[in-house]
Amino acid sequence: MPATEDSQTSKKTYTRSEVSVSTMDGTVLRGFRYDLQTPTDGRRNRIPPSKTPLLCIPSELGNTSEYEQLIGALAEQVGAPRRIFNFDLRGRGRSVLSRKDNSTTETDADDIVSICDAMGLHHCDVLVTGRAALSVFLTGPKRPSTIGRLILNDAGPEFDSVGIAKLGTTMKRAPQPADWADAVDILKKIKGETFTIFNAEDWQDLARTIWKDENGRPVQNYDNKLYRLSNVDDFDNKQPLVWQEFALFKTTPTLFIRGSKSELMTEALADKILTHQTHAKLAIATGQGHAPVLHKENLPQSIAEFLATTD
């Protein structure tokens, strides 16, 4: 969890407050707002903080905890955003599904628009991970001027079908962990070959990101109905391609982060995506698969500098 302001130091920190949004169908989406507290001497602020707010959208089945460590690390970077919003989409984390149990990429796109309207984000930068990017791209026709810059974390308008099929099979076969040590062991078996940079603490942090604690035990942090509505287990037949919508972001400044060992975002597919962007930068998450955690190595610095470039 990001640190709060410490009057005894000159470090920059974020203060966090809870926020919520009611969508058109009455679903309540919950998230956090972060406000940057800067040191009084200002000597560390050679690059001014970005004036444009940053909206963080977690991965398809993920939640806001994915970005907690990144946000904490961003506070110490020159050029860090002044405001950050981090939301759970419906059925994930602290947000529930509606009574109609409807959740699709289109529904999520509408919910992102609702978040922007409720939070006054008429022009914001967006960070999104994995297949949740499909919903972000679908917001293009709805609100073409809302997104100023894009940070795509192992994400694009298309994903490798073989990698998706492998992911779907792995998800269905993965057991529910009996305890937190078991959760770490499960993750190592699933992701150990593609996250070679991880140490023991990283695996524990990842487990706490994926599962929530309930009476000392890890439990699933998304609604069961959400997985049945996802097409991840039948991807060869239903793979959505949103190249047409992605074309609306052709001139949007984009930071494309790819895990060097990602099976969903291959090097060839990443090159294809980058050729469609006029202003794109590439950052490699060395020793990480899908999807990279963003607080490692120099990724926070790369993200902060990217966000501060055109303000």
Q: What is the DSSP secondary-structure string of 262-290?
A: -SSS-HHHHHHHHTT-SSEEEEEETT--S
> Distance between CA 149 and CA 126 in Å, rounded?
6
| Residue 182, CA distances (Å) to 34, 173, 188, 209, 249 in order | 33, 15, 10, 15, 42
Burial class of residue 29, CB neighbours in 10 A (0-12, 13-18, 19+): buried
Residue 34, pLDDT score: 98
Query: So what CATH class is 13-160+240-308?
Result: alpha beta
Per-residue pLDDT of the chain (311 residues; tens, 9 = 90+): 444 433 344 578 999 999 999 998 889 999 999 999 876 545 555 677 889 999 999 999 999 999 999 999 999 998 899 999 999 999 999 998 876 666 788 999 999 999 999 999 999 999 999 999 999 999 999 988 899 999 999 999 999 988 888 887 887 788 899 999 999 999 999 999 999 999 999 999 999 999 999 999 999 999 888 765 555 545 445 556 799 999 999 999 999 999 999 999 999 999 999 999 999 999 999 999 999 999 999 999 999 999 998 66
Kind of pairing between the strands at 147-153 and 28-37:
unpaired
Q: Which two tokens stand for residue 111?
A: 């919910």
Of 111, 102, 61, 19, the residue nearest 212 (C-alpha): 61
Q: Which two tokens stand for residue 70?
A: 């990144």
Residue 235, pLDDT score: 47
Contacts of 307-311 with CB under 8 Å at 24 or more apart are 307/50, 307/52, 307/54, 307/79, 307/80, 307/81, 307/125, 307/149, 307/151, 308/47, 308/48, 308/49, 308/50, 308/78, 308/79, 308/80, 309/253, 310/148, 310/149, 310/253, 311/48, 311/50, 311/51, 311/52
Residue 166, pLDDT score: 84
Plot region of 5 (φ>0 → left; ψ -120 to 50 → alpha; else → beta) = beta
Residue 52, pLDDT score: 95
CB 114 within 8 A of CB 89: no
